[in-house]
Structure 1
Amino acid sequence: MTPLSIVIITLNEEKRIGRLLEDLSKQSHQQYEVIVVDSNSDDNTCEVARGFEQALPSLAVHKMNQRGTSLGRNTGAQLAKYERLLFLDADVRLSPTFLTNALYELESRKLEVAGSYMEAKDLSFSYKVGYALFNAGLFSTSFFFPTAVGACTFSTKRVHNEIGGFDPSIALCEDCDYANRAAKTWRYRMIPVRFWFDPRRLEQDGFIKMGLTYMKANVRRFFMGEMRNKRMDCNCDHYTDAN
């Protein structure tokens, strides 16, 4: 199968980055490199990541002087040596066959850019309902106005470079903008693979509040364009380290 470059962005993720790196070390597909791009963390994120250099021989840790989600992803893409890209957040968890199954879907369906679904296993019933509704939205919008979860998004260097990467001027839904711009040239689809997504963001912001925020944001995007220069209140880097 195709080798890929996995770009992981981090900010104060010392308690979580090790879990994801351990998941990657156990993947059935092992033709990949891992690029951890750290947004100048205040904790030991980089040290924890470097502790996996033996388990992940193709691991590089790059610490930036600035902070920014889009900046981190774009930096990782520039450092990547493989054509196929996978962008991950540090609080994601993957099953051992995730890469194998995802690459099979991407190659068989000839997709350069694609999204994946969120897994609600072991979460409460309310979260399972919420995730199911969110996943349904990802699927339905993928055919005309893609929405995406940047925590787990597939792309290629060709796509990334031709659309100019992630737009750092966008305050919210920069991942959706990326997918939407890519879909204007390449076919964007959701593939039937799932990743576990840490619910701490929902717990800290409030399940309903966060859902309404993103629904409002995407309705606004559809009718009025992207949200640049903080046109909506957003503080995307405020999540704490609580387990």
Structure 2
Amino acid sequence: MQQSQTEKLKPVQLSPLPETPTVSVLISNYNYARYIGETIESVLCQTYPHFEIIVCDDGSTDNSCEIIETYVQKDNRIKLIRKKNAGVAIALNRAYEQSKGEIVCILDADDLWINNKLQKVIEAFKCNPKSGFVIHNVVEIDGQGNYVKLAPKLERLASGWMAPYALANGGLVKHIPPASALCLRREITNLIFPLNPAMVRNTDSLIYRLAPLITEIAAIEEILSKFRLHGANATSAKTITPDLIERGQVSAKLVHEEQKKFLQDFYGSEIADQLTDQHQNIIFCHECYLLSRLKKESKAARAKAHQRLITHPEFNTTFSWYKPHRWLVQYDLPDVLFTFLFQQIYGQGHLKRLGKWLLRKKLNASFVHG
């Protein structure tokens, strides 16, 4: 990670892009032979042709590399790096070392891009010359490529200069999509990479939690990628458990520490000290309350977590009355009622399964009659 010196919190100044900038597509792959070919094809079908694809295989034990090699032999824009299994962060670091493009895009080995994604991203960077970070919306698909739902994953996207908000909000900027929708100028990635290899889960959060601290965000509301949910990725977990929440919080703590170090290196201690702790983050407060209930902590501990959540300044905007999540956390419900509602919202309760079945029927009908 390069160091820079600046006197106050402000976006990095960016140089003008060339007329046809090269896009470096970084893919970390581990045992995704089932998906990697389709993922690469989604890049090769882009309407914008000036790109390179760098796939770092993280010690796959399936036939991923054989599949990737068939593409390498057919298109000199594709490069394969092989390494022993050591995690996504190191794989992305190795891919980044070999990249040369003025724009860097992350693509998970199981996700897909819409064919005009790169063209839209280039246009967004050129229309927003102060933005070194472009994001867009995504739609969820299942392991077979069927739509989980037709609506975008995010109701809205973050945009603009969000660093002051991030400092006051425990380091979090909400409404940022997952890895395959993250696109950055090289001036920004040069300051972020290499990623901390200790970050073995949710590695993309290192990117989207550091980039807003140094550059403006430009948002494309359009859906430009398909985010795959399946049994092999962490995001597809069907039921939220205490273990899942705690593992996520371990990753979040590491990211928060990385943010603190990054701010110290880039801005100095005066700015770094302005980064608030994670209890200023509504999502963290929500997780802490759920943990207190799921782990059956003492009434005092539960009451403290509940009070911290419902008095958070963003509670009403995050948990609006029409969302079922509000009814789960608004009041400190009796255990029996809490458990029932939790299973319907975050588990595999009967009402949730019924809702999914009705949604699948609706989606299938829309494709038949569409």
TM range (shorter): 0.7 to 0.9
Q: Is the CA contact 1:3–1:84 (under 8 Å) kept in the aligned structure 2?
A: yes
1:60 aligns with 2:93: no
Percent of aligned pairs with the same amino acid: 17
Counterpart-to-counterpart distance in 1, 2:116 and 2:228: 19
1:191 aligns with 2:181: no
| 1:94-123 C-alpha deviation (Å, 9 max, x unpaired) | 121111112111221122223222214752
> Which of 119, 125, 140 is the equivalent residue of 2:139?
119
Counterpart for residue 238 of structure 1: none
How far apart are 1:175 and its partner, in Å?
2.1
**What stretches of structure 2 of length at least 5 have no aligned partner?**
1-19, 166-171, 257-275, 280-370
Counterpart-to-counterpart distance in 1, 2:237 and 2:72: 34
Counterpart for residue 64 of structure 2: 45
**Worse overlay, 192-201 or 84-93:** 192-201
Counterpart for residue 241 of structure 1: none
Normalization by structure 1: what TM-score?
A: 0.76
Counterpart-to-counterpart distance in 2, 1:181 and 1:53: 32
Counterpart for residue 234 of structure 1: none
Q: Is the CA contact 2:161–2:215 (under 8 Å) kept in the aligned structure 1?
A: no
**What stretches of structure 1 of length at least 5 have no aligned partner?**
226-243
How far apart are 1:183 and its partner, in Å?
1.7
Counterpart for residue 278 of structure 2: 224
Counterpart for residue 260 of structure 2: none
CA distance 1:138–1:223, change in 2 (3 Å): farther
CA distance 1:62–1:203, change in 2 (3 Å): closer
CA distance 1:106–1:123, change in 2 (3 Å): same
1:33 aligns with 2:57: no
1:149 aligns with 2:178: yes
Provide the aligned C-alpha RMSD in A.
Answer: 3.2
Q: Is the CA contact 1:163–1:182 (under 8 Å) kept in the aligned structure 2?
A: yes
Aligned 1:145-224 pairs, distance under 5 A: 145-146=172-173, 147-193=176-222, 194-200=224-230, 201=233, 205-206=237-238, 213=245, 217=249, 223-224=277-278
CA distance 1:62–1:202, change in 2 (3 Å): closer
Aligned amino acid, residue 199 of structure 1: L
How far apart are 1:68 and its partner, in Å?
0.9
How far apart are 1:56 and its partner, in Å?
2.8
- Which protein has the larger Cα radius of gyration, Structure 1 or Structure 2? 2
Q: Is the CA contact 2:128–2:218 (under 8 Å) kept in the aligned structure 1?
A: no
Q: Is the CA contact 2:59–2:83 (under 8 Å) kept in the aligned structure 1?
A: yes
Q: Is the CA contact 2:24–2:104 (under 8 Å) kept in the aligned structure 1?
A: yes
Counterpart-to-counterpart distance in 2, 1:163 and 1:204: 27
Normalized per residue, the structure richer in strand is: 1
Q: Is the CA contact 1:89–1:152 (under 8 Å) kept in the aligned structure 2?
A: no
CA distance 1:82–1:16, change in 2 (3 Å): same
Relative contact order higher in (CA < 8 Å, ≥ 6 apart) = 1
> Which of 90, 96, 100 is the equivalent residue of 1:77?
96
Across the two proteins, how many residue pairs are aligned to each other?
A: 219
